[in-house]
Amino acid sequence: MVKLREVFDSCAHPAVAAAALASLGGDVAENLRAVAARDGVPAGVLVGELVREFREHSCPSVVTSAEEAMRRSELPVLTGLQHVLAHALIRRALADKTAP
């Protein structure tokens, strides 16, 4: 069974993260690319940052939810990455709106 740790270990590297993002596609990938362009960083670098932030700051229930989705998926690492990025983008958006 694939665990979220595999997402953390592989997608924290910018080149691997960029390749995974290209494979992921969809709204999450599109939103992430827009944030990366706005911030002036390569998308793979931003993915790596978000993966590390998620690993360090996510609550256990969010991790459990992501791992449950991964268990039901034919592409568990990409499913896990999608959950990580969606959560991390929401977390950043909320932090941006609440910052003084």
Does the structure show a pLDDT above 70 at 1? no
Torsion of CA 25, 27, 33, 38, to 10 degrees: 170
Task: Give pTM, 2 decimals.
Answer: 0.85
Q: Is the per-residue pLDDT at 97 higher than 80?
A: no
pLDDT tens by residue, 26-83? 888 888 899 999 999 999 999 999 999 899 888 899 999 999 999 999 999 999 999 9
DSSP type of residue 1: -
Query: Is pLDDT at 98 greater than 70 in this prediction?
Result: no
Q: What distance separates the 2 farthest-apart alpha carbons in the chain?
A: 43
